[in-house]
Structure 1
Amino acid sequence: MVTLSAPTVSDHVALAEIELCGELMIAASAAIGERLSADRIDEVLDVKVSTDRTTVPRQGEHRG
Structure 2
Amino acid sequence: MTHVAPVGGTAVQDHVALAEIELCGELIIAASAADEDRLSLESIDEVLRVAEERASAGG
Q: TM-score with structure 2 length normalisation?
A: 0.68
- Name the counterpart of 1:19: 22
Task: Provide the rounded CA distance (Å) in 2 between the counterparts of 1:26 and 1:35.
Answer: 12
State the Cα deviation string for residues 5-58 of structure 1 (Å, max 9, x = none). Answer: 4535xx1000000000000000000000110000000000000187xxxxxxxx
Select which of 16, 39, 53 maps to 1:36.
39
- Name the counterpart of 2:57: none
Give the superposed CA RMSD. Answer: 2.1
Percent identity, please: 62
- Name the counterpart of 2:12: 7
Figure out how many residues of one structure are paired with residues of the other and give that number: 48
Runs of 4+ residues deviating >6 angstroms: none
Q: Which runs of 5 or more structure 1 residues have no equivalent in the other structure?
A: 51-64
